[in-house]
A and B are shown apart, each in its own frame.
Chain A
């Protein structure tokens, strides 16, 4: 399936002008790959044909948006990051009677449950509210259901052990058939809500924001915009955790953050 650059540009422009979905500042190479993948999946031959399909059919439009905006993650991905979080951030969170965490671009929620488990083991879950947001409503639904394929657990258990978890990972879910369901006590302080980092604004103030492997899908312009949004959403000395290959390099706010752990991409608003 071949999609030319100018066709893709035109398609994204139309998508924004007609429906308000703004993918224009997404990193093109991976977005193009996803769209081509979608065309193949649906046996659609061109972007022109795709446009005709979605223009008059809201369901088809929704379906396409869900497919191209889906992101994948895992529990305790990069155990050393969460180790660092535990070491540097948890002690401060313990000093607050109450605090808020934002997991931005949470996809299907694996990192939301990761954070909930860390807070629970620190005895902080009752004092916190976790806001878990994503552009993709289908992913959010799966996140709030808290049901995950059992095949993934082996990897998550290994990650959890590398992280240095205090208990047995299996105590946090119950397994049935080919799936596991995360314990409800983990999610009772989690708020799952739609939020589009490309267009939506500040909605609360947070002591900690986690946004890992989301910025890599954005171009420099949108990265800058999102980091500014995080800056405005953090309390004074609030923490920001990014993915292992992400940085503040392309943002005008890089001087407004202190590196807490350079390797693990953990920052503090200063």
Chain B
């Protein structure tokens, strides 16, 4: 069993339901920080963090710039900003152009995290109707990170996982309940 220091999740259309199936059983002491980029509208009134918090014992919070990344948290990329990770394992934000029509973009987070965490990075790509994430997964593979895609057959929107799988960047294709179990098993091996 590999040991990971960071878990990244990228999801788009249909993502919230998928995430809510993966996360509920993770314990409060889950040892690996989780960072989520869910494509979202820029209106500040969406309740993504609140909705997720109801489903998990981990602390859900929007990532703040310069914030130190700690276990026990699910960090969510804020609306209308890209989320990046610095070498000292703190967050950075940018309002550079949208990537794949998205800000936050999964590619931006994945690419910046790849060079920080190398082989101790786990990235998961879920349902979505565009190709964000694929470039980021390439960067992660080039640094020997580990990658999982939701099984497109089960995904609400196939394009995002299909695009990732087609680019030969995915180590494992799993259904949501298998991803859930994979994450639970990780906490027994840290």
**A residues lining the B interface (CB < 8 Å):** 2, 4-5, 27-30, 32-34, 71-73, 78, 80, 213, 216-217, 220, 243-247, 249-250
Residues in A neighbouring B85, C-beta threshold 8 A: 29
Residue of A nearest to B86 (CB): A29
**B residues touching A (Cβ–Cβ < 8 Å)?**
44, 64-66, 78, 81-82, 84-87, 92-97, 108, 111-112, 115, 142
B96:A30 contact, CB within 8 angstroms: yes
12 new A-B contacts, CB < 8 A, other than A73-B95, A216-B81, are: A2-B142, A27-B94, A28-B86, A30-B82, A30-B84, A30-B92, A33-B84, A33-B108, A72-B96, A213-B95, A216-B95, A250-B66
| Cβ contact within 8 Å between B95 and A71 | yes
Q: Which residues of A contact B64 (CB under 8 A)?
A: 245, 247
Which chain A positions have C-beta within 8 A of B86?
Answer: 27-29
| Inter-subunit contact B97/A246 (CB<8 Å) | no
Given the known interface contacts A5-B87, A5-B115, the answer about A34 and B96 at a Cβ–Cβ threshold of 8 Å is yes
The residue from A5, A73, A80, A216 contacting B92, defined by CB atoms under 8 A apart:
A216
Q: Assess whether B87 is in contact with A28, with CB atoms less than 8 Å apart.
A: yes
* 23 residue pairs A–B, Cβ–Cβ below 8 Å: A4-B115, A5-B115, A27-B86, A29-B112, A30-B94, A32-B112, A33-B94, A33-B96, A33-B108, A72-B95, A72-B96, A72-B97, A78-B44, A80-B44, A216-B65, A216-B95, A217-B94, A220-B66, A243-B95, A244-B44, A245-B81, A246-B65, A247-B64
A250 to B66, CA, bound (A): 9
Q: Give Cα A244 to B45, complex, Å.
A: 14
Closest residue of A by beta carbon distance from B82: A30
B35 → chain A, closest Cβ, in Å? 13
Bound: A4/B81 CA distance, A? 24
A27 and B92: CB pair below 8 A? yes
Q: How near does chain A come to B45, taking the closest CB pair, in angstroms?
A: 10
Point out the residues of chain A lying under 8 angstroms from B95, CB to CB: 71-73, 213, 216, 243
Kindly list the 3 A-B residue pairs having the minimum CB-CB distance in the complex, ordered from nearest: A29-B84, A30-B94, A29-B112
Q: Give the nearest-CB partner of B63 in chain A.
A: A245
Tell me, in angstroms, the Cα distance from A220 to B68 when the chains sit together. Answer: 13
Query: Distance (Å) between the CB of B82 and the closest chain A CB?
Result: 7
CB-CB nearest in chain A for B112: A29
Cα–Cα distance between A82 and B92 once the two chains are bound (Å): 24
Neighbouring A residues of B82 by C-beta, 8 Å:
30
Residues of chain B within 8 A of A249, CB atoms compared: 66
What separation, in Å, do the CA atoms of A179 and B94 have in the docked complex? 27
How far is B86's CA from A34's CA once the two chains are assembled, in angstroms?
Answer: 14
Flag if A216 contacts B93 (CB, 8 Å). yes
Q: Within the assembled complex, what's the spacing in Å between the Cα atoms of A183 and B163?
A: 46
CA distance A249 to B95 in the complex (A): 20
**Are A245 and B97 in touch, CB under 8 angstroms?**
no
**CB nearest neighbor in B for A249:** B66
Which B residues are CB-close (under 8 A) to A217? Answer: 94
Cross-chain contact of B111 among A33, A80, A243, A247 (Cβ < 8 A): A33
Which residues from chain B contact A244 at a C-beta distance below 8 Å? Answer: 44
Most buried by A among B64, B65, B66, B108: B65
Distance from B69 Cβ to chain A, minimum over Cβ atoms (Å)? 13
Min CB distance A159 to B, Å, is 10
**How far, in angstroms, from A60 to B96 measured CA to CA in the complex?**
22
Q: How many angstroms between the C-alpha atoms of A5 and B112 in the bound complex?
A: 12
Closest to A223 in B: B66
Chain B residues with Cβ below 8 Å from A247 are 64
Query: In the complex, which residues of chain A have a beta carbon less than 8 angstroms from the beta carbon of B108?
Result: 33
Closest residue on chain A to residue B115 by CB atoms:
A5
Residue of A216, A243, A244, A250 most packed against chain B (CB within 10 A): A216
Taken together as a complex, chains A and B put the C-alpha atoms of A32 and B96 apart, in Å, by: 13
Closest to B109 in A: A29
- Complex CA–CA separation, A220 to B88 (angstroms): 13
Complex Cα spacing A106 to B146, Å: 41
Q: For residue B94, which residues in chain A have a CB less than 8 angstroms away from its CB?
A: 27, 30, 33, 216-217
Residues of A within 8 A of B66 (CB): 220, 249-250
Give chain A nearest CB distance to B77 CB in angstroms.
11
The smallest C-beta distance from B102 to any residue of chain A, in angstroms, reads 14
CA distance A56 to B97 in the complex (A): 31
Name the B residues within 8 Å of A5 (CB-CB).
87, 115
